[in-house]
Chain A
């Protein structure tokens, strides 16, 4: 009762990174609140799934394993989640801000009349005093998120309704195993008790999923381009530099919108959050929403023809010049001076 629960997304028998990141955060919050960390796994052929989940410090894992639940469906997954939450009354419920979590979360929050905050970038525990009534709430979940296109940061609370629900994007929180041998308990739930036949109002005709080819989240070096790179052709230079350095290529929202790079390379509040040891920003002016997704990079080099580009303020090295001139020089030096 009154624990923290994380909805785990599973694709092809693998718990998704975003869910493991939330479990890591959930464990820390549970320690602070002195409660248990629980997880919910829905799907098909989930035998052994706990091996991926318990090491993150999960005390109780609810498993619903049924052929009809192999792929995410709004209504059946909602029914299970809502009924389980009614039974267990968690104080906090976390989900990935994915196409699944952002479909399920609002549906569940509406059914339970509990507040939901989308795309949180930080989750903290804190207190709150209502100015009108002078009533004080202890140990609330601060749901911190950018708003207004990333121009401001808002702290949202749900003083009275439970669970306090939040979604978080992949890559925002860190993933960290607590104990590979952590002992949790499995509770198997029977699908029939939670799902009605009428819940299958939408059926999947066809699914075409690709493995993501881009792995910028885990890259230790990122060469990222912005609108200032100028063209898709010029972006090719970034790929050449990335190739010799063993790096991945990232892009700002403006560069993606302009068609210079694919969507899954986007870094920032509406894309992926990254923390490489080296971030080379090429022709990126540095809008707030981009900086928020890369500011924790260990070292930042900015290459920009504008010496006053906002990104230069957070950079360790600023090279004032054109991307087309600078990158070939970097490639040349590197090739000549390494094996």
Chain B
């Protein structure tokens, strides 16, 4: 019997080079202004799912993301690497969600997907670094969780055995399915795109992406339904709208500041023997060292 696996993924702004202009006045992120990538640890999570698909015949992997229309990019990326299908949850009603409102929306979408055995997610996303959405989704679905997974040792007889990477060592745990597992960056990297899948899914799109496409393209979608990436709005899931977006978010951003450090006037030295000897002499004399 194959497993039904869901992988949670997020398209994130590349946080290595961002400034204050990337934030809106209300303190939320202006994602449109930043280069967007597949959250790195979500790729580690996808790899764990694909490995189980390789091992257990009949296993399917569904990639689920919440975000703007352009987030379909990571779903295509997942299809190129071996996922069976992708779902984009997108609606203005989700805008401004904190981790709790996000988890609620995702859990409603997962309920709509139906029965599943396993949910994989990256440990955390590089834009927020909170590591909260995985456990919160598990709680909303009423299933157990295993966080900080580095390797799935096996799935057998309705249970999963996982190696966890903790601060001071490793822990091997076993949990009953269905369960949610968050995967560390120290887990094996995701496989690259597969050339055959790249050809197959090159033209896969969501309905929003197709809005401006030609009639020929629409005919192609009718002929090859797997090229349709599912797009769900708030109307496609059963949910309490009060729990979505800003109204469903207990945390509010009060203030955003750029980081300013206290600048000192440094004493400038060269790497000459005399400069360094003088410095060391001072440090010994004032008991900073020695």
Contact = CB atoms under 8 A, between A and B. Distances in A.
The 5 closest A-B pairs by CB, nearest first: A321-B271, A149-B15, A115-B250, A115-B251, A202-B175
B81 to A, nearest CB: 23
B271 A319 contact: yes
A295 interface: yes
B167 A201 contact: no
Given A119-B129, A204-B173, A333-B276, A315 B147 contact: no
Contacts of A159: 252
Nearest to A307: B268
A320 B290 contact: no
Contact of B269 (A149, A245, A319): A319
Given A147-B127, A319-B276, 14 more contacts: A109-B250, A110-B136, A116-B99, A148-B13, A148-B22, A152-B23, A152-B256, A156-B252, A157-B251, A157-B252, A206-B171, A209-B168, A295-B261, A317-B269
A271 to B, nearest CB: 11
Interface string A83-125: 0000000000000001100110111011101111111000000
A40 interface: no
A150 B281 CA distance: 37
B132 A208 contact: no
Given A103-B147, A107-B145, A149 B256 contact: no
Contact of A154 (B126, B255, B263, B284): B255
Most buried by A among B13, B27, B167: B167
Interface string A139-161: 00011001111111111111111
B215 interface: no
B262 A314 contact: yes
Interface of A: 74-75, 78, 98-99, 102-103, 105-107, 109-111, 113-119, 128, 142-143, 146-161, 201-212, 221, 245, 264, 270, 277-278, 288, 291-292, 295, 299, 301-302, 307, 312-322, 325-326, 329-330, 333-334, 337-338
B146 interface: yes
A330 B275 CA distance: 10
Nearest to B135: A106
Nearest to A334: B280
Nearest to A322: B271
B172 A205 contact: yes
B130 interface: yes
Contact of A151 (B18, B27, B275): B18
Contact of B174 (A98, A205, A288, A319): A205
B166 A318 contact: no
A115 B103 CA distance: 12
B166 to A, nearest CB: 5
Contact of B147 (A99, A116, A146, A312): A99
Contacts of A209: 166, 168-169
A93 to B, nearest CB: 13
Contacts of A128: 254
Given A116-B132, A316-B267, A318-B269, A154 B256 contact: yes
Contacts of A245: 289
A109 B255 contact: no
A158 B252 CA distance: 6
B172 A204 contact: yes
A119 B128 CA distance: 10
A47 B265 CA distance: 53
Contacts of A160: 250
A258 B271 CA distance: 26
Given A153-B259, A204-B171, A206-B172, A315 B252 contact: no
Given A99-B167, A320-B269, A205 B15 contact: no
Contacts of B167: 98-99, 212, 264
A150 B169 CA distance: 27
Interface in B48-91: none
A201 B146 CA distance: 10
A333 B281 CA distance: 8
A119 B268 CA distance: 36
Given A110-B135, A116-B251, A161-B250, A208 B266 contact: no
Nearest to A205: B172
Interface in B268-290: 268-271, 273, 275-277, 279-281, 283-284, 288-290
B264 interface: yes
A315 B134 CA distance: 40
A319 B280 CA distance: 12
A117 to B, nearest CB: 6
